[in-house]
Amino acid sequence: MVQVEDYTATEVQSSMHKTRLRYYSNLSNVTRGQLYKILQWLRLVQSANTDLSFNSISLWTLSIRGHYTRLSLDESFVKSLYCSLFLNQSEFITQINALVVHFRLGDLLNLDEKQPINVERVEGVLEKLRVHSSHLVLVSDSKEEELAEFLKNSNLLKFSKSSNFDPSKTLRVCIDAENFLGTTSKVSLWAAIFRQFIFEKVSFLPQELRWAERTGLNSNWY
């Protein structure tokens, strides 16, 4: 009597197929990585991720792709960027609030590797500022009901009315505030940058953004 395990044979074939796919995929990644290094060496492609990397840009450079997180903040550039964003000031006239809190939730509510800033950390800063809750403006990228659910166990923020503006108005509201507290958001980061370089105002930002200190941003880190 001979017993043939068809299911096991199929599993083995499937496993071998997946192994081959992984091998070719890894081989392809290695090839692309080596090719990219060669293009960088020839200065055809530049990363432009650091201040020094700009010295490697040549007349024959075809592609430049980098990120601002390791570039030093230049005051004249920041001012130029601010003027470009708010060229027509009348569109962004806002009331100057005593305290604005920008609370980013968005996709952080559904990610395993990242979480929104703990409410207790934020409220710990608010208690030190001693700003009355009626003077607190809460802005967020989330819907009002999502934010209310997230803040339901908070001591102070749950009583604050939240607003959801477009990014430009949100940025301006945060910039104009007398006191500003941001969370892990690019909007919070750039609001703090503009506040410092344009208006010489200090902001409150979480420790998760402290890497920006190397670029020239000063903040009260919490």
User: Does residue 146 lie in a domain region?
Assistant: yes
User: Does residue 60 lie in a domain region?
Assistant: yes
122-150 core/surface letters (b: 16 or more CB in 10 A; e: else):
bbeebeeeebeeeebbbbbbbeeebbeeb
- Per-residue pLDDT tens for 73-91? 999 999 999 999 887 765 5
Considering the domain architecture, whether residues 153 and 178 belong to the same structural domain is answered as yes
Considering the domain architecture, whether residues 202 and 104 belong to the same structural domain is answered as yes
Number of domains in the chain: 2
- Residue 44 CA to residue 64 CA, distance in Å, equals 9
- Per-residue pLDDT tens for 29-83? 778 888 888 888 888 888 888 888 878 888 898 888 888 888 889 999 999 999 9
Other Cβ atoms closer than 10 A to 221: 14
Considering the domain architecture, whether residues 94 and 152 belong to the same structural domain is answered as yes
User: Does residue 126 lie in a domain region?
Assistant: yes
Residue 60's closest CA among 48, 39, 44?
A: 44
| Whole-structure pTM value | 0.74
Considering the domain architecture, whether residues 53 and 81 belong to the same structural domain is answered as no
Domain extent for 151: 75-221
Considering the domain architecture, whether residues 47 and 104 belong to the same structural domain is answered as no
Considering the domain architecture, whether residues 113 and 16 belong to the same structural domain is answered as no
- The string of DSSP letters for 77-121 reads HHHHHHHHHTSSGGGG-----SEEEEE--GGGGS-SS--PPPHHH
- Per-residue pLDDT tens for 99-147? 999 988 765 555 566 678 888 999 999 988 887 777 888 998 888 888 8
Considering the domain architecture, whether residues 24 and 61 belong to the same structural domain is answered as yes
